[in-house]
Structure 1
């Protein structure tokens, strides 16, 4: 007997949300449908038919990234229902999702699942008709005019003869699923490409800097261990407030917010006029000193990246406030480095950029790639949690751990901390990762973000709200220091192709794609493949590009091992579309 396990997730059932949700965007429909189709592919490949595919079996998952869905079983649907009346009121009659041969008394089959999937796809599309107002009877109608690919696909899926329906694997190769809506809209000029956003921000900063070029801010530093402290003092709250009140004594600075004043850097005892080179050198030395253990601002747990050090609880209020002010100054310095075209080093951990982008709300929601981030920071703890997820407890009963280690509020009613078991270990790992990356250093992260956001608002009050639309990857690419070593040739030198047949088009297609990447695209590719926007400096570093059996699946990166698994796609067009989607969605493997 084949046993298929369906994991239970807290989420919103598509069918129940339909009555109160706004019309769904086309890319949302495509993303949800693709995930349902992938689940059917896995089941059918194992010889299993689902048998109950309808909107009530599609669970939309909360959290980040959005548009995640799971295909549930009928028992899970019933368990998640608030009550039977709510289910009956908010979902469609099941008959329209039943294949004719099943309605006539036949049994479940892969072909019947494909028919039901076509009905779900048609149903999902009902609210995206022109004007966004299609409801009621339109739910069972054809897709909106102009969506020829979808109309053709739905017609193929809903044919009465089960032998004439395509398999789930064949459906995945239909242009509706292989062509991303984002790519279509970017090509048509309807939305801005991801790198165009970054270019627009750089253009804005250049315009602000040009308009403020007469209002220079003088920063004199001395080489040596005290440089980082002097720069932090310059960007400290009191120093910034003093410059705001009195112009700081700089020529033409009156009335110009401190963050908008271009820096004029000098090194004490050295002759030189700053035309950008001195500022770049100063920031390189500053970040080197600020990230060093002696500064006490960041900590290293043996991994490739650094995170803000926790603010010691035992410190007095004055000492904690002083440390928080230094971290806030570091956040302002990040913005100043961006403004001066210098950028920050790639050793800053992904969790910092996620906090900068989303704040505490994001931290509370967690993140689907959190274990990968932990493994970059603390390899030992990350490996331990990975083993815990992959194995059963040694004694078959428990792990000798309790939730008191990760959450002070997750106690049993009797007062004792709840034990970690095989059933709840996933929840424990999620909390453990979140505590290590965010919870134990929340005050430090918040201080950096406070300075970062304040400086951005001061640079451009009008543009600052729009920067909330940036993802954490956008910020990592934007803030990453310009590295002359980062070239297509250097990235290509790091690629090692493993297991590829000679006839495959993928290796040469990947080489051509990398050669065509600009700097921002190279950084995004490296974030996807390695977890870092820059090339690691370790000698002998390589990214293994491993061949996988041909399938419509997306490429998957294992950033902890620098492995990139890519299916042996049939043609270059499919490869480019899949790789682009994977990079933009950051489809990196993780267990949490």
Structure 2
């Protein structure tokens, strides 16, 4: 499969369109149009990372910011047209393929991880778990506090709000609301029924406006990963998120502890010390960019870096391509082998400058197998 990096989502959807679900179970080989690199596993890993980033950052019609820091994703309630639903089906298949590909690769290639920071309630829905009021706090803390304040106040005698919703959900729909004893259309909120109102409104915010979209994801996902398999291993929502996306924080000490050195480095050189000082000074976003550049995937494995074979390793190369050069070369990466070619830089400042430049360029082009 060949895709354009800048059009990764569009090209990938087109490649799989009309081919049925069985193609998602077949081995995958990927190349980026116009880029060098044989796919020995690293390019495929990079395709998963690049495509998941395109979904999470470049598809506002599908997902919108959510969570306390607005750095997670929830389904856009306005994305219920047939073209949108087909894209959500693709997302479900893609997530399942990442799990399938990880299980087939073994230690020599390591797991696939996606840059898809979905809000926890979506992971619960994917597992078929019911949602509760506390899930709204994870999605929108402001709305959660607003609803909780209703439970604490005396609203009898107030012209508060009138229900005007015709509540409906399929009996097997995920995250279904608590049973209601009567129709909820057209009655005023009182102290007697305010709990019912709060639960219904929370359900509408969490699920009621995204049922079609979530059903598209769930049905597609389970055509590749049967629900019975997830039930067998009794995954929690956090465990499923860790399986698909890896650890969101990058443990630099774990990476440093399991990194190997070859071809002229033994780990005791000044340039190696400067390198780790730079990495430790990065925030998590820059650390993930470094992992992306170095390995083709920006996630830390759930089992830690020690579970990978081959391990991340650093190889010594000369500072200049040619003695006549006046500018030091950039680091280079071989993603299939998790190999970083680190020139023998002369200062900590030079290390930082070159690493930052390399990973910035590498987000768009440079990582090769």
TM-score range, shorter chain: 0.5 to 0.7
Which residue, 223, 226, 249 being the options, matches 2:5? 223
How far apart, CA to CA, are the structure 1 residues paired with 2:249 and 2:26?
27
* Matched-pair contact (CA < 8 Å) for 1:327–1:448: yes
1:524-543 equivalences in 2 (<5 Å): none
Kept after mapping to 1: 8 A contact 2:52/2:116: no
Q: CA deviation at 1:452?
A: 0.4
Gaps of 5+ in 2: 103-110, 170-179, 256-279, 281-299, 305-369
Matching of residues 431-442 of structure 1 within 5 Å: 431-442=200-211
Partner of 1:407: 167
* 1:305–1:348 contact (8 Å) kept in structure 2: yes
1:205-220 aligned at under 5 Å gives the runs 219-220=1-2
Does the 8 Å CA contact 1:406/1:428 hold for their aligned counterparts? no
1:323 aligns with 2:84: yes
Quick one: distance in 1 between partners of 2:157 and 2:251?
50
Q: Structure 1 residues 231, 416: closer, same or farther in 2, change over 3 A?
A: closer
2-structure distance, mates of 1:267, 1:416: 54
Question: 1:456 matched to which residue of 2?
Answer: 225
Aligned residues: 238
Equivalent position SS for 2:29:
strand
Name which of 443, 453, 465 aligns with 2:228: 465
Match of 2:20? Answer: 240
1:484 positional shift = 6.8
If the length of structure 2 is used for normalisation, what is the TM-score? 0.55
Give the secondary-structure state (helix, strand or coil) at the position aligned to 2:161: strand
State whether structure 2 residue 153 is matched by structure 1 residue 383: no
Q: Note if 1:419 corresponds to 2:184.
A: no
Distance 1:325 1:408, change over 3 A: closer
The separation in 2 between residues aligned to 1:284 and 1:272, in whole angstroms, is 16
CA distance in structure 1 between the aligned counterparts of 2:47 and 2:153, rounded to whole angstroms: 49
Q: Of 206, 211, 216, which residue of structure 2 is paired with 1:447?
A: 216
Residue 285 of structure 1 and its aligned partner are, at CA, apart by 1.9
Q: CA RMSD in A?
A: 3.4
SS in structure 2 at match of 1:421: coil
Give the superposition deviation at 1:333.
0.5
Which of 343, 349, 361 is equivalent to 2:119? 349
Deviation at 1:456, TM superposition (A): 1.7
- Output one character per residue of 1:463-482: Cα deviation in whole Å (capped at 9) or x when no partner: x6232343333322221235
Residues 355 and 483 (structure 1), Cα distance of their counterparts in 2 relative to 1, 3 Å cut: closer
Partner of 1:57: none
Pairing 1:267-306 to 2, within 5 Å after superposition: 267-292=32-57, 294=59, 296-301=61-66, 303-306=70-73
Q: Provide the secondary structure at the position in 1 that maps to 2:19.
A: helix
Q: Is the 8 A contact 2:9 2:51 kept in 1?
A: yes
Q: Which has the higher contact order (CA 8 A, sep 6+)?
A: 2
Task: Note if contact 1:343-1:481 (Cα within 8 Å) is conserved in structure 2.
Answer: yes
Tell me whether 1:373 sits opposite 2:138 in the alignment.
no
- Equivalent position of 1:336 in the other structure: 97
What whole-Å deviation, never above 9, does each CA across 1:429-486 have from its counterpart, x for those lacking one? Answer: 21111111111100000001111001225xxxxxx62323433333222212355704
What CA distance in whole angstroms lies between the structure 1 residues aligned with 2:165 and 2:142? Answer: 17
Write the distance in 2 (CA, Å) between the matches of 1:381 and 1:426: 15
In 1, distance between residues paired with 2:166 and 2:150? 16
Distance 1:222 1:235 in 2: 15
Cα displacement string for residues 234-270 of structure 1 (whole angstroms, at most 9, x for unaligned residues): 344x1336xxxxxxxxxxxxxxx42332321111101
Match of 2:88, SS state, is helix
Cα pair 2:246 2:302 within 8 Å, conserved: no
Q: Distance in 2 between matches of 1:424 and 1:220?
A: 58
What CA distance in whole angstroms lies between the structure 1 residues aligned with 2:196 and 2:253? 41
Instruction: Give CA-to-partner distance per residue, 1:539-563, whole Å, 9 cap, x none.
Output: xxxxxxxxxxxxxxxxxxxxxxxxx
> Residue by residue, what CA displacement relative to the aligned partner does 1:373-413 show, whole Å, maximum 9, x if unpaired?
323322332221132233333xx534612333473797978
Contact 1:412 1:418 survives alignment (8 Å): no
CA distance in 1, matches of 2:247, 2:45: 10
In structure 2, C-alpha distance between the alignment counterparts of 1:285 and 1:519, rounded to whole Å: 17
Aligned equivalents of 1:239 and 1:468: distance in 2?
28
Tell me if the contact between 2:124 and 2:237 (Cα under 8 Å) persists in the aligned partners: yes
Q: Decide whether the 8 Å contact of 1:297 with 1:309 is kept in 2.
A: yes
Match of 2:167, SS state, is: coil
2: distance between equivalents of 1:223 and 1:521? 29
Rate the CA distance shift 1:484–1:401 in 2: closer, same or farther, 3 A: closer
Q: TM-score, normalised by structure 1?
A: 0.36
> Structure 2 vs 1, CA of residues 417 and 455 (structure 1 numbering), >3 Å: closer, same or farther?
same
Aligned residue among 305, 309, 316 for 2:76: 309
Instruction: Give the Cα–Cα distance (whole angstroms) in 2 for the partners of residues 484 and 300 of structure 1.
Output: 19
Gaps of 5+ in 1: 1-218, 242-256, 314-319, 458-463, 494-517, 523-592
